[in-house]
């Protein structure tokens, strides 16, 4: 699957060097023998995780066998931003060795067992299940259960669902983020008074209507600047309807703690 791979393999005793440039994270569940990756040791009962690009040496001992999956950083970052409801600013780091006594991680192992079996292929071929759904379920489980630097943010209590009129307005803003939309237009679209809509945004989004529109535009600006597809901060500001690049830079720094130019430099350095 795109950005994903699953495995259920066994090895005789072997050791060798590795020189992978992949951006994937690997998650392994040994059920026999021993695997050593650099200074990380995996045995039955101990799951391990690492970036493929960090692996320089691998050893398998005692007829090692494991279940595993590899997921690209892009897939993980995209799903992480959806769950957080905002761009993820820091690179995610997963704990390298985890005790499998934790029930949630056992559930991840069961999902990989399912993904490497014939039943999944049969379900996909019969249109009863889709590869996209499999990927979403697995990434969500890993992000929420495998210890990482975003666990606290991901496991915070969720806010109450927005009422229908606020949901209509927020969806319209997100679908038309380049437009300059007035509160009156949104109120008519949502079939409520402007006052009711303003109060709804304050209560359920914690923002004014204008601030919410700005937040959505800034999210798109962050995506553009991180993608490497634009070269000019001024172009991004104009593209997303900010009156001036100076004001855009001010808002961006308030939202993300860095200027647009600093984010571009960070992206260029990491790639």
- Mean pLDDT per segment of 10 residues, for the chain of length 271 residues? 79 80 87 90 91 89 91 89 81 91 76 72 59 78 92 78 89 90 93 91 90 92 80 86 87 88 70 48
Given this model, what pLDDT does residue 23 score? 82
Q: Tokens at residue 147, please? A: 């210890």
Asked if 185 and 205 count as a contact pair (C-beta separation under 8 A), the reply is no
In this prediction the pTM is 0.61
Say what the pLDDT of residue 211 is.
92
Place of tokens 């949901």: 167
Q: How far apart are CA 158 and CA 160, in angstroms?
A: 7
d(CA 240, CA 64) in angstroms, rounded, equals 54
Q: 195: left (phi > 0), else alpha (psi -120 to 50), else beta?
A: alpha
41 neighbors 101 (Cβ within 8 angstroms): no
Q: Rounded to whole angstroms, how far apart are CA atoms 188 and 171?
A: 14
Q: Answer whether 171's CB lies under 8 Å from 145's CB.
A: no
The pLDDT of residue 34: 93
Give the pLDDT score at 170.
94
Distance, CA of 213 to CA of 251 (rounded, Å) = 12
- How high is the pLDDT of residue 126? 60
């Amino acid at each position: 699957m795109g950005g994903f791979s699953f495995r259920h393999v066994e090895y005789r005793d072997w050791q060798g060097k590795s020189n992978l440039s992949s951006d994937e994270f690997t998650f392994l569940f040994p059920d026999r023998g021993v695997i050593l990756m650099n200074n990380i040791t995996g045995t039955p009962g101990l799951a391990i995780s690492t970036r493929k690009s960090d692996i320089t040496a691998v050893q398998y001992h005692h007829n090692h066998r494991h279940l595993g999956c590899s997921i690209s950083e892009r897939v993980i970052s995209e799903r992480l931003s959806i769950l957080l409801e905002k761009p993820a600013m820091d690179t995610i780091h997963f704990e390298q060795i985890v005790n499998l006594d934790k029930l949630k991680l056992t559930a991840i192992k069961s999902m990989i067992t399912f993904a490497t079996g014939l039943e999944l292929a049969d379900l996909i071929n019969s249109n009863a299940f889709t590869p996209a759904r499999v990927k979403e379920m697995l990434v969500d489980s890993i992000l929420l259960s495998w210890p990482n630097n975003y666990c606290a943010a991901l496991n915070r209590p969720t806010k109450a669902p927005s009422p229908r009129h606020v949901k209509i307005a927020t969806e319209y803003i997100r679908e038309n983020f380049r437009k300059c939309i007035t509160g009156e237009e949104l109120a008519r679209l949502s079939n409520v008074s402007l006052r009711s809509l303003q109060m709804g945004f304050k209560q359920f989004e914690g923002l004014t209507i204008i601030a919410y529109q700005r937040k959505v535009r800034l999210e798109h600006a962050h995506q553009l600047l991180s993608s490497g597809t634009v070269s000019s901060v001024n172009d991004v500001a104009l593209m997303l309807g900010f009156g001036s690049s100076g004001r855009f830079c001010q808002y961006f720094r308030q939202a993300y703690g860095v200027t647009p130019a600093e984010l571009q430099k960070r992206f260029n350095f990491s790639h």
